[in-house]
Amino acid sequence: MGFLSILSFAHKCIEERLKPGDAAIDATAGNGNDTVFMARLLTGGGHLYSMDIQQAALDHTRRKLEAEPAESRERVSLHLGSHAYMASIVPPEHHGKVGAVMFNLGYLPGQDHAVITTAESTLPALEAAFELLRPGGIITVVVYPGHPGGEREAAAVTEWFESRPQSMAQSFCYRFMNQRNSPPFLLAVEKRHS
């Protein structure tokens, strides 16, 4: 058996940590795959906030959700806007109660590849996400350094994970070492129990 793919490992980390009643955030809705994945995991009154700056992404995500059972669909709200403003998208009652935040960086496949995530909004979004997490909650980021602009964002995001104080967080990188052409990699951070 080979190693888990980058995305499968992100999903496994999320799956192991989301608890009944947790809120969750998909910071880059895109085609809706991660939104559907997290919506299926939420139980016990949890809610998923899924956001994107492109209406096309939210339309794809809504269509994917339509194939899901009503109880899973009803737990999701879709938001057109930048993840940099997630603290104002997530209502105060869920601040500090978020069990997982997923970022899947880069561009929306099948749409304009010039619309990409950038460090200018990704870094404030990571700060906001960390504030919103409950102790033991996790942020996962699938990073794509291979497209124009991707390498710069990857460096900034990696630096953000490396600089989390150990007293507050534990972070790791999951990366295949012998793949060529700037393959994607996973960064994750877990908020420590104080």
Ligand X SMILES: C[S@@+](CC[C@H](N)C(=O)[O-])C[C@H]1O[C@@H](n2cnc3c(N)ncnc32)[C@H](O)[C@@H]1O
Q: Which residues bind ligand X (CB under 6 A)?
A: 28, 30-34, 51-54, 57, 82-84, 104, 106-108, 115, 117, 121
Indicate the residue type of 189.
V
Question: Based on CB atoms, which residue is closest to ligand X, 115 or 156?
Answer: 115
Question: Based on CB atoms, which residue is closest to ligand X, 73 or 192?
Answer: 73
Q: Smallest distance from the beta carbon of 83 to ligand X, in angstroms?
A: 4
What does the alpha-carbon distance between residue 25 and residue 35 come to, in Å, rounded to a whole number? 8
What does the alpha-carbon distance between residue 41 and residue 18 come to, in Å, rounded to a whole number? 7
Question: Based on CB atoms, which residue is closest to ligand X, 81 or 136?
Answer: 81
Long-range contact pairs involving 168-175 (C-beta distance under 8 Å, separation at least 24): 168/192, 168/194, 169/130, 174/6, 174/9
**In this chain, which residue has its C-beta nearest to ligand X?**
30
Residue from 191, 37, 166 nearest 102 by CA: 37
Question: Based on CB atoms, which residue is closest to ligand X, 44 or 109?
Answer: 109
What does the alpha-carbon distance between residue 40 and residue 173 come to, in Å, rounded to a whole number? 26
Residue at token pair 């990409």? 116
Burial 126-161 (b: 16+ CB within 10 A, else e): bebbbebbbeebbbbbbbbbeeebbeebbeebbebb
Q: Smallest distance from the beta carbon of 64 to ligand X, in angstroms?
A: 8
Q: Smallest distance from the beta carbon of 16 to ligand X, in angstroms?
A: 19
Question: Based on CB atoms, which residue is closest to ligand X, 54 or 171?
Answer: 54
Q: Smallest distance from the beta carbon of 65 to ligand X, in angstroms?
A: 12
Q: Smallest distance from the beta carbon of 164 to ligand X, in angstroms?
A: 21
Q: Smallest distance from the beta carbon of 36 to ligand X, in angstroms?
A: 8
